[in-house]
Structure 1
Amino acid sequence: MNSFRRTTLRLALGATLAAAMGAAPVVVCAQTAAPVSAYPGKPIRFVVPYPAGGGADFIGRAIGTQLSQAWGVPVVVENKPGASGITGNDIVAKSAPDGYTVLIGITAMIQTPALYAKLPYDVVKDFAPVSQLALSADLFVVPRDAPAKSLPEFVALAKNNPGKYNYGNYGNGTSSHLHGEQLKMKAGVDLAAIPYKGAAPLVNDVLGGQLASAFIDVSSANPYLKSDRFRILAITGIQRHPAVPDVPTFAELGYSGFESNGWFGAFVAAGTPKPIVDKLSAEIRRIVRSPELNGRLTAMGLRPVGGTPDELAGVIARDMPMWTRIIKDARISLD
């Protein structure tokens, strides 16, 4: 038995003995043997597994700034991009379970296990959910001069002209790609997938009319939602988006399998004491729901959430099998 396991066992036995004797046990963090009441007592690190300037980076820095102000400790944001977020995720999965290393993750966390044959961590076992921060969605769009005025019309055109139409996505293995393949399977249409390295160049080509259709995340399309630069035929998720209330969901149009939203979430390493997770979660929820950050997220086209650890765990348990099924049915692999 290594020293860490012996320390953990002694702490657990000590707490049990104290309870049996009628004394109130002191909750401690096994890794540091420091009382949870002392948390936070040193700088906190936010790991963003994507480049600076994206949605996860913005959210991490916005929350980090307010968390630092509220708790009086530095919050350092580190961008660790690479391998669809796997590089940064792995750093947090292998960090000390003490609440001082926080992951700002996205939906890709629960998609990559089916896209890669082997990951250096287990998404379910190696992370402790803290809070779902915000929801996103993908818009299915066509150029403004496209003949299709609705999703049924687009499907009809694609069926009558096999091989003629394509759809752009913001990267292989992304939600945009998976939604495109799902549409192909559900509608029985032949659409060529055109992958881009990110949403920005995808949006540019949609605006330029260089694609027959595309799946674009709502935050990337946000500056153009009120314009006539493209036509939105449908949106993913279970409810319409307040910024485009006239756009129906895929479910409303008779297409199942598009119910899951994209999301941003906060995680720590599995094994982090529950009182620390709960304290961190409560403060992050307060920040996300504050008028300042709530307004900034809404202005980005996102839907602020600020959920509990159990609520985020429930989202993962519900959505992960759905993404896995889509990936396997479409035979998508990134290995």
Structure 2
Amino acid sequence: MTRNRRTTLALMALAAACATLGTSSAQAQGDYPAKPLRFIVPYPAGGGTDTIARLIGTQLTQRWGQPVVVENKPGASGILGNDIVAKAPGDGYTVLMGITAVVQIPALYKKVPYKLADLAPVSQIAKSADLLMVPRSSGVTTLAQFVDKAKAAPGTMNYGTYGNATSSHMNGERFKQQAGIDLTHIPYQGSGPEMAALLGGQLTLAFVDATAAYPHIKSDKLNILAVTGSQRFPSLPNVPTMAESGYPGLEANGWFGVFLPASTPKPIVDKLGAEVAAIVKSPELNKRLTDMGLIAVGSLPDDFKTQVEKDAAHWKAVAEGAKISMD
């Protein structure tokens, strides 16, 4: 009887402890957020990712009454900042403002200190795309004309991108393969220098990020031949997509999105996701994103997770097909 009683008491104590733990966890989720949030931006201050993080952070502070501190943690093409969030406590207070590189990095680097599964998708904020642009002085007005010109003079033309192993580089190599043309790749340290080189006539073709290209889309020095992504660019309704131009496989959009550590409880992920989605869909944020040359989205966690998985498979196939690696 003594042994049975001790066993019973032990089980009762364990049950009480579990109940207390469960209650504390539920209370913690229900009180979220109860302290300031950290937004980790894996890139320098002043860029598009940083700007969006601060816009979202300001709105979250106003809605939730808790400060949002934006911390720029640049390094290793975003790996440093991504890793900070992947290894952070899953309490909802360390948030990643990521870009498409989150899903591209595993396909480009053999050694990454975290796994994509270590991050929980929260909300896709906005989509971007690459615009294929040429100097107007070239006389080229369609992608078909450019391909014909490149085939007539193999190895004499180039294309610019905003960096090695970026979306623009992978899209450019896929386009070269599909079109059967020989172009020299010229990578730049960002879209700003690339855009300057195109305007200066140093490039025969450039895959330019929509946010950098946006201020120049009405320029009389440039012709826009096509756009990557799954849909036409809203401000350029007459410019066809790559698929419409006869080059499928470049439908994946670039994007900005919010992530949490994968260990974060689902109720917290859902709560933050719903709030961010509402902020993105507000008239104020929608306009700000549009003015940046982006397509506002504001998805919920489950939808963003589906998109992340789809894009990870896409970029892996592109990187392998084009033999692009950073190791």
| Residue aligning to 1:42 | 35
The Cα of 1:35 is off from its aligned counterpart by 2.2
- Spell out, residue by residue over 1:207-247, the C-alpha distance to the aligned partner (whole angstroms, 9 max, x if none): 11110110001110111112222110000011111111110
Quick one: which of 127, 147, 151 aligns to 2:119?
Answer: 127
Is the deviation greater in 321-330 or in 127-136?
321-330
| Residue aligning to 1:102 | 95
Higher relative helix content = 2
For 1:8-23, what aligned pairs fall within 5 Å after superposition?
14=18
Whole-angstrom CA distance in 2 between matches of 1:200 and 1:128: 31
Any unmatched runs of 5+ in structure 1?
1-9, 19-24
| Residue aligning to 1:213 | 205
For 1:239-278, what aligned pairs fall within 5 Å after superposition?
239-278=231-270
Matched AA of 2:103: I
Whole-angstrom CA distance in 1 between matches of 2:17 and 2:314: 41
For 1:150-229, what aligned pairs fall within 5 Å after superposition?
150-229=142-221
Quick one: which of 85, 104, 116 aligns to 2:78?
Answer: 85
Relative distance call for 1:144 and 1:99 in structure 2 (3 A) is same
Query: Post-superposition, which runs of at least 4 consecutive aligned residues in structure 1 deviate over 2 A?
Result: 10-15
1:143 maps to 2:147: no
Quick one: which of 299, 302, 325 aligns to 1:307?
Answer: 299
The Cα of 1:26 is off from its aligned counterpart by 3.8
Whole-angstrom CA distance in 1 between matches of 2:272 and 2:60: 9
The Cα of 1:309 is off from its aligned counterpart by 0.5
Whole-angstrom CA distance in 2 between matches of 1:69 and 1:258: 39
Whole-angstrom CA distance in 1 between matches of 2:230 and 2:87: 35
- Spell out, residue by residue over 1:278-299, the C-alpha distance to the aligned partner (whole angstroms, 9 max, x if none): 1111111111111111100001
| Residue aligning to 1:28 | 25
Whole-angstrom CA distance in 1 between matches of 2:255 and 2:167: 11
With the length of structure 1 as denominator, give the TM-score of the two structures. 0.91
- Spell out, residue by residue over 1:9-30, the C-alpha distance to the aligned partner (whole angstroms, 9 max, x if none): x799936x99xxxxxx74717x
Any unmatched runs of 5+ in structure 2?
1-13
Matched AA of 2:114: Y
Work out the percentage of aligned pairs sharing the same amino acid.
57
- Spell out, residue by residue over 1:161-210, the C-alpha distance to the aligned partner (whole angstroms, 9 max, x if none): 11011000000010011111011111111000000001100000111111
Whole-angstrom CA distance in 2 between matches of 1:114 and 1:99: 27
Quick one: which of 310, 314, 319 aligns to 1:327?
Answer: 319
Matched AA of 2:150: A
Relative distance call for 1:49 and 1:144 in structure 2 (3 A) is same
With the length of structure 2 as denominator, give the TM-score of the two structures. 0.93
